[in-house]
Structure formats: structure tokens, C-alpha cells
Amino acid sequence: MTPTDPLRSYLPYYQSNERGMSMSLTGECFCGAVKYEVTGPLFDPLSCHCSRCRKAFSSQSSNYARIDPGGFRWVSGEENLTAYVGTHGFGLLFCRICGSTLCGTFNESVHGITLGCLNEDPELEEIHHIFVDSKASWEVLPHGVKTFSEGRTPTDRR
Ligand SMILES: [Zn+2]
Ligand SMILES: [Zn+2]
């Protein structure tokens, strides 16, 4: 990710919250072998309801936020990570012991985190729900969430 990444036009949700500059979040897998810390902003929180994400995240949808690579570090257990890299350079990092999906990667560097592995409330203001036309028949979307039939187009951006 570079400073010219167009997605950076999204507001970093953390910048005005009460954690101020000392903000820090921790996350870990189900068994606790792998732990990480996020010291920078989370941004672009997304929940994708497509059939591919259902399988990749073993859930009704992905729940994911991007990070700045400089604001993320592994605290312990990094040797327990295993990776799956798909086409186009995007991949996922799992705990090889318990199977939790911890992070997304792009070209082998951490690109974002799965919100489910966070230990604290990230206080995200709004998660965009994308590809809701592809959601599973058994999923009921909450009222009032921001939805997109498919991916977001540039006109969807704030
Ligand atoms: Zn684990
Ligand atoms: Zn998806």
C-alpha cells in the first residue's frame, strides 16, 4: 500500500476517537497461540456477503478492516501462521493450530485484519456491507446498515 492508494480517501476511523494517539488494539486467534497488536488506524471496514467470502471466512460474510503496515506487529506465535495465497496476490493468514483466520495479505504483506479476532471494541462507525445480493438465503441483514448490491463504485465513496 502506498500513500497514493485511492482507498486512503476513506477517513481513518480512529483519528477522532477517545483513544487519541495512544490507541492500541490487540487481537489473537481462538487458541491464543498467535497474538498481534494494531497501533495505527483501522480503515475501510467491510463486510462482504459473496459466496467466495463465505468460504474463505467460514462465515456468513467477511468482517475485515484494512491497516497501515507500519501500525501492525505480531506480538507472539508468528511461527504458527500458515498462509493461503489466491490468484491476484491476495491471501489469508491462519493459525495452524486452531484455524482462525487472522489477517489478509497482499503481495505477502499484511493488508488488513479480520474483526472477529480483535480483543477490544474497534469502535468502527460504519461497516459497508457489499455484495448483499449474493448473501446466503439464511442470512438476515440488520436494519439500517449501509448496503451495496455488489462492490462499491467510485460514486459510493464519501
Ligand atoms: Zn490458534
Ligand atoms: Zn466477498
Q: How remote is the CA of residue 60 from the centroid of ligand 1, in Å?
A: 21
Residue 123 confidence (pLDDT) above 50: yes
Query: What are the domain boundaries of the chain?
Result: 23-157
pLDDT band at 37; cut points 50, 70, 90 = very high
H helix or E strand, kind and range, residue 55: helix 51-56
Within 10 angstroms of residue 51's Cβ, the number of other Cβ atoms is: 11
Residue 156, exposed/middle/buried by CB under 10 A (0-12, 13-18, 19+)?
Answer: exposed
H helix or E strand, kind and range, residue 49: none
Distances (CA, A) of 100 to 14, 61, 74, 104, 128: 25, 15, 15, 12, 23
Fold of 23-157: 2.170.150
Q: How remote is the CA of residue 32 from the centroid of ligand 1, in Å?
A: 5
Model-level pTM? 0.81
Residue range 41-68: mean pLDDT, rounded: 94
Residue range 34-49: mean pLDDT, rounded: 95
Give the distance between the most distant pair of CA atoms in the chain: 42
Ligand nearest to the CA of 34: 1
Q: How remote is the CA of residue 101 from the centroid of ligand 1, in Å?
A: 9
Residue 154 confidence (pLDDT) above 80: no
Q: Which of 17-21, 51-55, 60-64, 140-144 has the lowest mean pLDDT?
A: 17-21
Contact 83, 91 (CB under 8 A): yes
